[in-house]
Chain A
Amino acid sequence: MSEGLSIGFLELTGCSTCLENVLLHEKLSGILGGLGSVKYWPSHGYTEEPDSLDVLFVSGAVRSRGQVEKLKKLRDKTRVLVAYGTCSIYGGLIGLTALIDASSRSGEFLETVKTVPDIVEPDILVTGCPPTRDQLDELAGVIKDYLENGKPRGKVFIGNRNSLCRDCPRKPRDPYRFEMPSIKRDHELVEDDGRCFLEQGILCLGPVTSSGCGHLCILRGRPCMGCNGPARGVVDQGLNYISSIGSILLKSMERIRMFDYFAAEMDKLVDPMGYLYRYTLPKSLLTELALKKRGVGEK
């Protein structure tokens, strides 16, 4: 099946190192035909644009008009387009610059950060920074199916989109009396007792993040940063998160009455954009509102 396949890699704005993992994943690389199938990967020496591609992996966010044109052109030539990595789907870390109007620096740049689905229709979306080995296993199966059965059958999201909390290995002491005692900053976690991070006061984005990553950070003693993108049903990672922790910070009514507890705790969140929108700012309601206010029009 992989014989004669042509595959390409398009790196937009971002670090794009995650793309290398595609060819380093045995199953996926085998299905694609390995290095021998690569026909386009400008940063790796495959600079000539081919007439057609069976599979194109696109990483990074869209920042320039040239990238918009390139993406559209390659979409037309490609059977299966994979939006690869969180940057390509939600903006990722580059998305933190969504509120910088780069077009004022040079006409080549866009007014904000766009994502691949803003510009073209991908067939497959793989989140992650980078996508994990398990996600690539699943991706391999989906691509195999596409290549064998011809025309893609609609958009496919790779990975479980339930919230990380649903099957988190860290359990609260008592799920019926689940309380976040206060808000601590990330570096203030020095004696991790293995309980749910929220119960320890640490801002873990598990409630609003999809669990396709397999809890990699949580299993290594780190709270979720949200890099795998929003869980199913989450419209805006930051706002949904504030709503989530609101319900557990507000547990003790006495505290609210006595100390304006919730407001005082939220003041400890000195950098909401960095903590809550580190990977998804371009797709947030916040950006939508800011752009409308600036008259940029549709996000």
Chain B
Amino acid sequence: MIINPVPGIGEDARLVIGEEDGRVKSVRLEAVNKLFIEEVLRGRALELLPSITPVFCSSDSWSYTVASVMAVEDVLGRKPTIPALGLRRLGLLLEIIENHVRNNAFKTLPLLGVDVRGEALRILGYTIRIKELLSGRSINPIIYVPGGVSWRPDDKLIGEMADYARRLLEKITVHSKKLISNLKNNEFYNKLIKQEFNPTSYIGVIGRNGEPGIINGEIALLKPGGEVVKLELKDLLDKLSVSSEGLSYWVELSGDEPVRSGPLARLNIVHGYPSENASSIYEEILLIAGGKPVHNPFYTVLARIAESVYAAELVYESLSDTDWLSGSLVNPKESPGKTGYSVVDSGRGLIIHSYVVDGKLVVRDLSIYTPSHFNYAALRRDLSLLTGRVLGDETVRLAEALITLSDLCVSELTINPVVKGEG
């Protein structure tokens, strides 16, 4: 059986289910399209990468831009200013909300028979409006530059953004409560979250107090047995091994179980979401799950709800008191080197950029790891659990849901993560 388009992905991939005597013999997801754009990043002027790499996945375009700007900063030896850090965080929080609302409402929940697309559009309307006010456009932001930001909103615009942020928070809080109650009464969902899944490792960026770190924190790896290891970015890069099949690439940590990044990973890694409404959702999730780590990917739906509320609370908080916006926009001090690294824990998972430049600041080698690279190995294993099941509508729906939960993006998955120069 071949399914194309694949829900949550579209026509860029197909789901191939092998059958024997009416039962599933094999399940695999095959990419059928590719951007090829990683191949033209080598040879580009370093400073142009923040405007090009977002094309890998524009539902993560703010995260890609920031990840790239941070890696460029690392090459140039520039330190970002306080307003820049605040405006980056604000943009990424908005994108986290969008990612989670979009994935739940348009991709995963319809497969569970839950339709909240209208509500989701209203929420996205607020996030997109704030992003437009911030950067002029809702995707591919332009204000982030190495060492700072090119512009800051004035008081009038901040007031307008804060008003949208307040309405966003109200809307998303009500929506989330309704959705959790809906899911609690959803027979199919309750059946799914009780299923056994193999343990995996989890990776993410964790803040000083155990909160989601996004761009400010340490990389934490939670092993299946519960051990937490803190990693330097360069050490993590040394441990990553790349595999490929067909057009797809993915990464694994040497000698480890498949490693997930993204909302489920953060749910397992963080000590909580330290804001009023999100923390109570977090406690409720732990109650339903019976503790952590949570290995069942269907909990991703709940993790997305908690994180989107958390992000909305932080967005409102940061727009209500904007003292952090004063001060220099750009820090021009620099001492350029030859390499630069960055990590961003985006809504969908870890994005890592690593650039090597020549004396003219032209990119010669680069590595770009995406959330899809991290999550694909775990997805392959999740799909293999379907082997032996009766091949019917429910099994197909389950396979599709596992794909949407991992939020794969074929553009990302088909990037060769390591592009080396010749010679």
Contacts and interface: CB of A to CB of B under 8 A. Distances in A.
A13 to B, nearest CB: 6
A24 to B, nearest CB: 5
A222 B59 contact: no
B10 A11 contact: yes
A11 B332 CA distance: 40
Interface of B: 5, 7-12, 32-37, 39-40, 43-48, 51-52, 54-59, 61, 72, 76, 102, 106-107, 110-111, 117-118, 121, 124-125, 128, 132, 135-140, 142-143, 145-147, 150-151, 247, 330, 332, 360-362, 411
Interface of A: 11, 13-18, 20-21, 23-24, 34-35, 42-45, 47, 63-64, 66-67, 70, 92-94, 96-97, 100, 102, 106, 108-109, 129-130, 132-133, 185-187, 190-192, 216-217, 219-222, 225, 227, 270-271, 273-275, 278
B400 to A, nearest CB: 10
Nearest to B57: A15
Contact of A24 (B5, B76, B121, B142): B121
Contacts of B46: 187
Contact of A23 (B121, B138, B151): B121
Q: Which of B47, B76, B118, B247 has the most A CB atoms < 10 Å from its CB?
A: B47
Contact of B45 (A44, A220, A275): A275
Given A45-B107, A132-B137, A271 B142 contact: no
Given A15-B55, A217-B142, A187 B47 contact: yes
Nearest to A187: B47
Contacts of B48: 186, 271, 274-275, 278
24 contacts: A11-B11, A14-B55, A15-B55, A15-B58, A17-B61, A18-B58, A24-B121, A35-B118, A45-B7, A63-B33, A96-B37, A102-B34, A106-B247, A185-B45, A186-B47, A187-B145, A219-B151, A220-B150, A222-B143, A225-B142, A270-B45, A271-B43, A271-B44, A278-B48
A20 B124 contact: yes
A96 B41 CA distance: 9
B9 A35 contact: no
Contact of B121 (A14, A35, A45, A273): A35
A96 B58 contact: no
A206 to B, nearest CB: 14
